[in-house]
Amino acid sequence: MKYVDEFRDAELVQNSLKELRQLLTQPWTLMEVCGGQTHAIMRYGLDQLLPPEIELIHGPGCPVCVTPVELIDKALAIAAQPGVILTSFGDMLRVPGSIDAEGNGRDLFSIRAAGGDVRVVYSPLDAVKIAQENPDKQVVFFAIGFETTAPANAMSVLQAQALGLTNYSVLVSHVCVPPAMRAILGSPQNRVQAFLAAGHVCAVMGYWEYPPIAEAYEVPIIVTGFEPVDLLQGIVAAVRQLEAGKAEVENAYGRAVTYEGNKPAQAVLEQVFETCDRKWRGIGPIPQSGWRLRPELDAFNAEVRFDVSQIQPEESPLCQSGLVLQGLLKPDECPAFGKECKPEHPLGATMVSGEGACAAYYRYRT
């Protein structure tokens, strides 16, 4: 398959590893931002192939993982109401919200088991279609994600508006990558010396936002893809800069990413969303790191429609996913990993999501 098989070529992998070994003179710590990259690294054993001088740590690049627990609780409260159909992507149904008296977190599956109408969709436009087909129901789409999924979610609002639907709304939990990178680099505990940036995010937004970050914090930022050769080429590019004392933004994913990004998609985002402060699960508030619906679109805002603003969450004290998301702890270093916290009984979202670091370690390292 073009653009896949050639980026899994064993000879190219070995060539990149050889080049990396020739470059290295000292240890370096790199963070891959995207959870999809984390899973690829674990799946192909890239972390085990790398020279010992290179340490990869895992960033907050899983949208399911960083969705704040209060928004999970709001989704649970909305889904439990009569006459509501709540829709979202599959991973969200298993993410635990606040803990109960027994220390367990409820999830959307438990709402469905209790009789709530909770449905998995593969596109937000599927949720719009459900609203068309069920005019007597309130249909809510739980819109999560980074810049990658935001344009389609924004389009669903414009589509519902064009169709004159009054029974469609979105519960928005969109977050943006650059403010999170700044928050990590600005932390006194920061260990990141270079970033591997998420190629799919940059396919939408470009990478024009990154040069000021690289300059301000003196870290190389390499835009990379998701296959073994992509990732190793990104690591080689980062180490080449680090060894030369450079801190620049480099695009190692040119087949999908341009500097400007997808301008029509960015225009849709500008039309539907405005930036806001956003809380990240396990990390806390990051200023101007999220998107919310513009006030003129409040008719499609589920938080306004259902008045769920007063929910106060409580997370499991055993879960240390916040440290994992900041690159300060490896998943298997958490005392609850594989014990109190397993995929069938997760304490946090990082054990549930298909892009969660804890799920990757559990799947590929246990």
pLDDT value, residue 315: 65
Mean pLDDT: which of 7-16, 105-114, 126-135, 315-324 is highest?
126-135
**63 or 185, higher pLDDT:** 185
Q: Is a pLDDT exceeding 90 seen at residue 61?
A: no
Q: Is a pLDDT exceeding 90 seen at residue 293?
A: yes
Mean pLDDT in residue range 60-82 = 89
pLDDT value, residue 254: 93
Can you tell me the distance from the alpha carbon of 172 to that of 179, in angstroms, rounded to the nearest whole number? 18
263: helix, strand or coil: helix
What band does 66 get if pLDDT is binned at 50, 70 and 90? confident
Q: Taking the domains of the chain in order of start, what are their residue ranges?
A: 1-366
> What contacts 235, CB < 8 A, 6 or more positions away?
16, 20, 30, 50, 54, 56, 196, 222
pLDDT value, residue 103: 55
pLDDT value, residue 240: 98
Mean pLDDT in residue range 181-196 = 94
Out of 26-30, 96-100, 216-220, least confident range: 96-100
pLDDT value, residue 198: 94
Q: What is the pLDDT of residues 330-365, one digit of tens each?
A: 889 999 889 888 887 787 778 877 778 888 898 888
Q: Is a pLDDT exceeding 80 seen at residue 221?
A: yes
- Give Cα separations from 285 to 105, 241, 247, 281 (angstroms): 22, 32, 27, 9
What band does 208 get if pLDDT is binned at 50, 70 and 90? very high
Q: Is a pLDDT exceeding 70 seen at residue 2?
A: no
Q: State the amino acid at position 212 in one-letter form.
A: P
**Predicted structure pTM score:** 0.90
Can you tell me the distance from the alpha carbon of 120 to that of 44, in angstroms, rounded to the nearest whole number? 29
Can you tell me the distance from the alpha carbon of 66 to that of 69, in angstroms, rounded to the nearest whole number? 9
Assess contact for 280 and 325: CB atoms under 8 A: yes
β-bridge pairing 168-175 and 84-88: unpaired
Q: What is the pLDDT of residues 236-272, one digit of tens each?
A: 999 999 999 999 999 999 999 999 999 999 999 999 9
How many C-beta atoms surround the C-beta of residue 188 within 10 A?
Answer: 4
Q: What angle do CA 64, 68, 343 make, to 5 degrees?
A: 45
Q: Does domain 1-366 have CATH number 4.10.520.10?
A: no
Q: Is a pLDDT exceeding 70 seen at residue 60?
A: yes
How many C-beta atoms surround the C-beta of residue 184 within 10 A?
Answer: 26
The whole-chain average pLDDT of the chain stands at: 91
